Amino acid sequence: MTRVRTLICAALTLAAGACASSPPIHYLSLDDGQPAAAGSPIGVSVAVTQANLPDLIDRPQLVVRSSGHQLQISEQYEWAEPLRRQVPRVIARDLGAALDSGRVVALPIDAQDFDPDFKVMLDIQRLDVVAGQGVDLDVVWRVEPRDGRTFFGRSMVRQAIETTSGPGDYPALVAAENLALRAVAANIAEGIKGWGDDTAVHGSSAPSDSAPADLCGGMGGRDGI
């Protein structure tokens, strides 16, 4: 009996040691914690209603491309909440700043108590986070004005990390994601501001295949992104 007790105690001690040595989980947020710009209370009203994400990144863990076709799904870095909920809020915050409007919000697509001037829907084609380098973001966005004349756009953003301590600096990569989404919001704001002008896209049945040149530079000549 004494031998059995000794073995059980040893097993429990090993298990406790293994638990104690497990690395902690770090929770990440796309929101950088900075307060949103107040914006005009009579500015244009916009509801960002949804963001469709590839199944590859629609998961709790941060997914990082290490090289070529190889991906790492981190068990130590997880999203504090699903990306499909974070992305609309971040876009709404940056869109409100770009439009100088305090009436830009993220809402469910079936929200009944808010009839905005524009509804925005996002379809993320690609969100590649590359270790030690930055982010490749490809978003098709759809804007529905109140008059029903829908128009589309496409933003292709390549955002380098601004500072890093190495390939495992995941917070720096998340900061790059935030900046990439800000560039998308700027594109959407340009489309909304240009609505009704000759340069605006009216009633398009397919997204544009081109992206502004200034959003595609800055990380050229790198492999894997």
Q: Using alpha carbons, list the distances in angstroms from residue 81 to 72, 109, 163.
A: 19, 19, 25
Compute the distance between CA of residue 94 and CA of residue 117 in angstroms, rounded to an integer: 17
Compute the distance between CA of residue 64 and CA of residue 130 in angstroms, rounded to an integer: 6
In 3-state terms, what secondary structure has residue 71? strand
Quickly tell me which residue has 């495992």 as its tokens.
168
10-14, 53-57, 71-75, 121-125: range with lowest mean pLDDT: 10-14
> Side-chain half-sphere of 92: how many Cα atoms within 13 Å?
24
Compute the distance between CA of residue 83 and CA of residue 32 in angstroms, rounded to an integer: 14
Backbone angles phi, psi at 5, to 5 degrees: -60, -40
> Side-chain half-sphere of 43: how many Cα atoms within 13 Å?
21
Nearest to 218 by CA among 94, 141, 134: 134
Contact predicate 124/51, CB 8 Å: yes
pLDDT at 69: 86
Count of beta carbons in the 10 Å neighbourhood of residue 211: 18
Residues 25-215, CATH architecture: 3-Layer(aba) Sandwich (3.40)
Is the per-residue pLDDT at 74 higher than 80? Answer: yes
pLDDT at 80: 95
Is the per-residue pLDDT at 170 higher than 50? Answer: yes
pLDDT in tens, 95-141: 999 999 999 999 987 777 788 999 999 999 999 999 889 999 999 99
What is the arithmetic mean of pLDDT over 82-107?
A: 95
Domain layout of the chain by residue ranges: 25-215
